[in-house]
Amino acid sequence: MSHAPQDRCKDKAHIVGGGIAGLAAAVYLIRHAGFDGSNIVIYEQDAVSGGAMDGSGSAGAGYLIRGGRMHEAHYACTWDLLAGIPSRDDPAISVTEEVFAFNQRVVSCAHARLLRAGQKVDVASYGLGRRDVVDLLRLNVSPEALLDGKHIDEWFEPAFFDTVFWQLWATTFAFQRWSSLAEMRRYAIRFMHLLPGFNQLKGILRTVYNQYDSVILPIETWLRQLGVRFEMNTPVVDVEFECTGKQKRATAIHCLKDGSPRRIELGEDETLFITLGSMVESAGIGSMDTPAPLLPRSDTGAWALWQRIAAQDEAFGRPSVFAEHVDQSKWMSFTVTLEDPGFFEHMERFTGNVAGTGGLVTLTDSNWLMSVVLAHQPHFRNQPPGTFVFWGDGLLPDAPGNFVQKPMAQCSGEEILQELFSHLGIVELVRPVMGKVNCVPCMMPLIDSQFMPRVNGDRPSVIPEGAKNFAFLGQFVEVPHDCVFTVEYSVRTAQTAVFGLFDCGREVTPIYRGDHDVKVLHEALLALLR
Ligand SMILES: Cc1cc2nc3c(=O)[nH]c(=O)nc-3n(C[C@H](O)[C@H](O)[C@H](O)COP(=O)(O)OP(=O)(O)OC[C@H]3O[C@@H](n4cnc5c(N)ncnc54)[C@H](O)[C@@H]3O)c2cc1C
């Protein structure tokens, strides 16, 4: 299917999923494929759009972000997308301009990236032995096909996992020893240009506020102004396909509208975009007094839909490879709201970083492998003066704490804070203000599912061979060379889908390849050896 943009003002598009992938697809349909906004519908099972890029709550009730994002200059698709979206605070500039201006003022350069026994660890050297460096280089030059199904710990010597490099790597990107080796290779190549400053998170770009306020809201506002319809609380539960010979067509969508089943037939000029899977589905939210529950997978959500789709054609991928290893894919985050500046003042003094300039501070001797991030304040558009918000995670939530003798998964927000403050040696300092703190824990059963070891074909193509009127979006479709667990990957799938189904007069923005630049290669190698 390939028409000139002017032919398409009556064409209709249905988009399953209101995360960044689905929103980006809507933007590109309007901006480059000639679609009228009023002919685009986005179906979202949740009450708000944004998916993983969430941000909710208030000073009184406590704020919640399941995750916070690091970006970098070579997120070429993301900056392209946001270059056409006005900032909420200053509509005269784009979100991209806002982000780059903000990062000139608030520059990322961590002075306390790793702590041990409450003290800063010297991270000037990555601590790699010759064998580790050889293994990393060997990985970079190995064809991805040779790494099919392999775990990271099948490739490296045990000593590698004690190095500063691995501690930085695992906690910056949320890799586990059992994660996909092929994904690690992609990261090592894709972010090679960041290696010289990786120990200080140099080159990391952040948004002014959390990503719901700074990215999702501006895009949604822009789309709504152009007439795009958002069908919230509307899970799409099945899609009918007609797969005959070499052609595949989506013919109908089944969704639940206010709990009632609805079938929407797709006409000749209708196109369907489907976000497959979701890393934040079934996230369980706790409170200061209650642990975050480990929820079962929904039978009407993203994963259930992909299972039904996958059963219809082998080109539609294998969701169980990613979704059925919760013990390996889960970890936890927590969001802390404070009505007192004491903790921020202490951390700024101790780390040497003004909030927003440091990024992850990892407690390397924490059994839970905890990290905290103090973002620039305010982190929410509606955050009043005198309120402070920070985020943290624990990548090993099943291990008993070092101070609280329980797994993180069984801890309330208060117990998580006890563990954190004990590691930092500030229990007495914070005791007087504990009544002014709210910690919301969040268990994400599928957060690392996109890092599960996979083989060719587990992820379907964005536009499967023969697909005439549909495409897949998000973290679980294949985009050669790019890295999952990034906003960029999802936006790239949206570009690939729209520019591939329609003649937009534009190519997909190329992926930056530092490994093709001798200077980048040279500096990365020096960094590994120092
Ligand atoms: C803790 C955490 C930290 C992160 N850190 C970074 C980082 O530092 N840098 C970075 O670049 N990225 C980071 N990411 C990843 C990034 O946020 C995600 O890759 C990206 O937001 C995924 O977007 P998506 O639209 O593809 O999927 P999602 O965000 O999962 O959105 C999918 C949406 O579709 C909806 N949906 C799915 N199926 C259906 C259905 N059948 N019916 C109706 N609705 C449906 C879902 O409800 C959801 O709203 C992080 C994510 C988390 C959670």
Ligand 1 atom index nearest CA of 484: 19
Query: What's the pLDDT tens digit per position in 112-163?
Result: 999 999 999 999 999 999 999 999 999 999 999 999 999 999 999 999 999 9
Please report the DSSP string for 343-408 in residue order: HHHHHHHHHS--TTSS-EEEETT-TT-EEEE--SS--STTPPTT-EEEEEEES-TTSBPSSSSSBG
Residue 469 is predicted with a pLDDT of 97
Ligand 1 atom index nearest CA of 488: 11
Confidence of residue 238 (pLDDT cuts 50, 70, 90): very high
Report the C-alpha dihedral over residues 447, 121, 389, 210, rounded to 10 degrees: -50
Q: How far is the CA of 110 from the centre of ligand 1 (A)?
A: 26
**Strand ranges in 176-317 using DSSP code E only, listed in sequence order:** 204-205, 229-231, 236-244, 247-257, 260-265, 270-275, 284-285
Report the C-alpha dihedral over residues 360, 361, 362, 363, rounded to 10 degrees: -160
Q: Say if residue 296 is preceded by a cis peptide, omega within 30 of 0.
A: no
Proportion of the chain above pLDDT 70, given as a percent: 99
H/E stretch holding 219: helix 217-225
Q: How far is the CA of 54 from the centre of ligand 1 (A)?
A: 9
Residue 309 is predicted with a pLDDT of 98
Helix (H, G, I), strand (E, B) or coil at 264: strand
Residue with tokens 């563990």: 419
Query: What's the pLDDT tens digit per position in 468-495?
Result: 999 999 999 999 999 999 999 999 999 9
Task: Compare 431 and 228 and report the one with higher pLDDT.
Answer: 228
Q: Whose CA is nearest to atom 13 of ligand 1?
A: 486
Residue 4 is predicted with a pLDDT of 52
Q: How far is the CA of 431 from the centre of ligand 1 (A)?
A: 36
pTM: 0.97
Give residues with Cβ within 8 angstroms of 268, minimum separation 6: none
Q: Whose CA is nearest to atom 12 of ligand 1?
A: 486
Closest CA to 334 of 394, 407, 279, 282: 394
Residue 270 has pLDDT above 80, yes or no: yes
- For ligand 1, mutation pick of 46, 48, 69, 495 (most atoms within 8 Å of CB): 69
* DSSP conformation class of 277: -
CB contact at 8 A, 64 and 292: no
Ligand 1 atom index nearest CA of 279: 30
Question: What is the bridge-based pairing of β-strands 270-275 and 62-64?
Answer: unpaired
CA distance 347 to 42: 42
Query: What's the pLDDT tens digit per position in 37-87?
Result: 999 999 999 999 999 999 999 999 999 999 999 999 999 999 999 999 999
Give residues with Cβ within 8 angstroms of 14, minimum separation 6: 40, 41, 43, 253, 264, 266, 270, 271, 272, 273
Confidence of residue 6 (pLDDT cuts 50, 70, 90): low
Q: How far is the CA of 18 from the centre of ligand 1 (A)?
A: 9
Amino acid at 294: L
Distances (CA, A) of 523 to 56, 379, 519, 527: 41, 34, 6, 6
- Residue 333 CB burial class (10 angstroms; 0-12, 13-18, ≥19): buried
Helix (H, G, I), strand (E, B) or coil at 286: coil
Q: How confident is the prediction for the chain on average, in pLDDT?
A: 96
CB contact at 8 A, 203 and 197: yes
CB contact at 8 A, 217 and 282: no
Burial track 378-412 (b if 16+ CB lie within 10 A, e otherwise) = bbbeebeeebbbbbbbbbbbebebeebeebbbebb
Q: How far is the CA of 140 from the centre of ligand 1 (A)?
A: 28
The radius of gyration of the chain from alpha carbons, rounded to an integer in Å, stands at: 23
- For ligand 1, mutation pick of 41, 490, 493 (most atoms within 8 Å of CB): 490
CA distance 507 to 495: 9
Question: Where does 108-211 have alpha helices with state H?
Answer: 130-141, 164-173, 181-190, 211
Proportion of the chain above pLDDT 90, given as a percent: 95
CB contact at 8 A, 443 and 426: no
Residue 5 is predicted with a pLDDT of 54
As for ligand 1, residues whose beta carbon falls within 6 Å of it are 16-22, 43-46, 51-53, 66-67, 69-71, 235-236, 275, 278-280, 301-302, 305, 333, 447, 474-475, 485-488, 490
Token pair belonging to 127: 């601590």
Confidence of residue 8 (pLDDT cuts 50, 70, 90): confident
Q: How far is the CA of 352 from the centre of ligand 1 (A)?
A: 32
Closest CA to 340 of 390, 382, 290: 390
Residue 298 is predicted with a pLDDT of 86
Confidence of residue 433 (pLDDT cuts 50, 70, 90): confident
| Length, in residues, of the chain | 530
Q: Whose CA is nearest to atom 20 of ligand 1?
A: 487
CA distance 495 to 473: 10
Token pair belonging to 458: 């587990």
Amino acid at 164: V
Average pLDDT of span 283-296: 97
Query: What's the pLDDT tens digit per position in 377-416?
Result: 999 999 999 999 999 999 999 999 999 999 999 999 999 9
